[in-house]
């Protein structure tokens, strides 16, 4: 594979789980190539396997079969610690439920991945990206003191502060009202344009998918064209 161009590659990835009814196939022999700088939407009905695919591509879970490369590293050849190291170096996340640390202020939440990576000037970098998302006046507030939209902006700032090669967003507007959701998506794409990040968004929202350069549709665990 061309590492310089292909930032994410999946070959025949399958995910199966055991259930009382027997083995369930959640994903079946999915092939995927995503190039550096692309914006890609992963769409499909509820239960189609979208979030499972994202978890596998990000190294949060292991496929039952198949191989995955992320920014040149073969995730499927690594153990859990190895995959975590790749994520820390190359990946940012934005989730539907924010996943902020409640005991940390907004700026401390954004500083966290930088501090875990041992990066210098964490506070300065966090303050800079919080300014980009319009939260400078709220940076010393705790998550409980912020609205849902503000919490998601903190989460977006935290995702971008490490300047990741890849940013995964899983239903990023799922817990927000439509107006706030639109603002969050505007912000996500605006920040993405200003960086060299590849954006992969799992969404059921056709408006979000239309803003991406490419759409991958999952149906019953398979990619459909």
pLDDT computed for residue 173 by the predictor: 85
CA-based nearest residue to 65, from 27, 18, 20: 27
pLDDT computed for residue 204 by the predictor: 86
Confidence of residue 225 (pLDDT cuts 50, 70, 90): low
Tell me the per-residue pLDDT of 137-193, one tens digit each, with 9 for 90 and over.
Answer: 999 999 999 999 999 999 999 998 988 889 999 988 888 888 888 888 888 888 888
Give me the DSSP letters along 39-108: EEEEE-STTSSHHHHHHHHTTSS--SEEEEEETTEEGGGS-HHHHHHHHHHHEEEEETT----TTS-HHH
pLDDT computed for residue 40 by the predictor: 94
Would you say residue 1 has pLDDT above 70?
no
Q: What is the mean pLDDT of residues 19-48?
A: 90
pLDDT computed for residue 131 by the predictor: 92
Domains of the chain (ranges; CATH) run: 37-61+79-224 (3.40.50.300)
Would you say residue 4 has pLDDT above 80?
no
pLDDT computed for residue 57 by the predictor: 92
- How far apart, in Å, are the Cα atoms of 206 and each of 134, 179, 209? 27, 15, 5
Q: Which residues contact 55 (CB under 8 A, 6 or more apart)?
A: 61
């Amino acid at each position: 594979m061309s590492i310089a161009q292909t930032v994410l590659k999946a070959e025949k990835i399958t995910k199966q789980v055991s259930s009382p009814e027997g083995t369930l196939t959640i994903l079946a022999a999915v092939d995927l190539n995503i190039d550096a700088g692309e914006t890609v939407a992963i769409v499909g009905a509820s239960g189609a396997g979208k979030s499972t695919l994202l978890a596998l591509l990000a190294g949060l879970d292991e496929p039952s079969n198949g191989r995955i490369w992320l920014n040149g590293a073969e995730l499927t050849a690594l153990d859990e610690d190895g995959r975590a190291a790749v994520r820390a170096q190359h990946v940012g996340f934005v989730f539907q439920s924010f996943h902020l640390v409640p005991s940390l202020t907004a700026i401390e939440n954004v500083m966290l991945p930088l501090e875990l990576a041992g990066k210098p000037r964490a506070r300065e970098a966090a303050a800079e990206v919080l300014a980009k998302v319009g939260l400078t006046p709220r940076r010393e507030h705790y998550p409980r003191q912020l609205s849902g939209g503000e919490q998601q902006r903190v989460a977006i700032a935290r995702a971008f502060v490490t300047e990741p090669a890849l940013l995964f967003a899983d239903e990023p507007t799922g817990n927000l009202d439509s107006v706030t959701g639109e603002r969050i998506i505007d912000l996500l794409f605006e920040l993405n344009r200003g960086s060299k990040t590849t954006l992969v968004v799992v969404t059921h929202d056709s408006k979000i998918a239309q803003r991406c350069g490419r759409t991958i549709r999952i149906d019953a665990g398979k990619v459909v064209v």
